[in-house]
A and B are shown apart, each in its own frame.
Chain A
Amino acid sequence: EDQVTQSPEALRLQEGESSSLNCSYTVSGLRGLFWYRQDPGKGPEFLFTLYSAGEEKEKERLKATLTKKESFLHITAPKPEDSATYLCAVQASGGSYIPTFGRGTSLIVHP
């Protein structure tokens, strides 16, 4: 069974204090790993897709990286508007492509 574990569950940062969120996964074969951002009262918003170990993607202050067992979402010099829950999902190769979501990391950035 595919498993996705995100850590920490919650993270509080000061504005400008860089940090990383972790997504560890167990899957028979990885087709893709997705990162989403979810604001309170809204649906998850797509950020990145990673497909193979060593791949990196960036968007503004966010950079996602992928290894064979985990993915990191690095946040550089965060701002209060980066406060949200960040969700990771993995999609196994073969089968129906249904992604398995982690529980998310709730990030709060204080001004």
Chain B
Amino acid sequence: DAGVIQSPRHEVTEMGQEVTLRCKPISGHNSLFWYRQTMMRGLELLIYFNNNVPIDDSGMPEDRFSAKMPNASFSTLKIQPSEPRDSAVYFCASSSKADTEAFFGQGTRLTVV
């Protein structure tokens, strides 16, 4: 398996624009996590899906952030409108079960100017 695949690897956008980050989890994994990593706050969980259903979205900063998982092989994280403070590296991770180790993608480095 190729592992968790994220796209794009880098995204530079202007404040106010919509940004969509994409993730393909490892086949057969039924848990998917979106994380954000910054120097200031470290690795923060944004949202957790189990069997394509959002279970915990308490980490989503505000209504500008939304995430979907239309099927077991694809998830998106959308920011609309984007702000400079959203600049960070966003990781997607998947695991075979909710309580097992997670496998991370390479991340998307987002810069909002």
Contact = CB atoms under 8 A, between A and B. Distances in A.
A96 B106 contact: no
B103 interface: yes
A31 B99 contact: yes
A44 B56 CA distance: 21
Interface stretch (A21-29, A76-84, A98-106): A98-106
Classify chain A's interface size. 20 to 34
Contact of A96 (B93, B98, B103): B98
Contact of B106 (A43, A46, A101): A43
Nearest to B31: A97
A46 B43 contact: no
Contacts of B42: 101-104
A91 B99 contact: yes
Given A96-B55, A101-B43, A104-B42, A43 B99 contact: no
Contacts of B103: 46
Contact of B56 (A32, A46, A98, A101): A98
Contacts of B98: 96-97
B107 A43 contact: yes
Interface in A36-80: 36, 41-46, 49
Contacts of A34: 101
B3 to A, nearest CB: 9
Interface in B43-93: 43, 45, 48, 55-56, 91, 93
A59 to B, nearest CB: 13
A87 interface: yes
Given A42-B107, A104-B42, A96 B48 contact: yes
Interface of A: 31-32, 34, 36, 41-46, 49, 87, 91, 96-99, 101-104
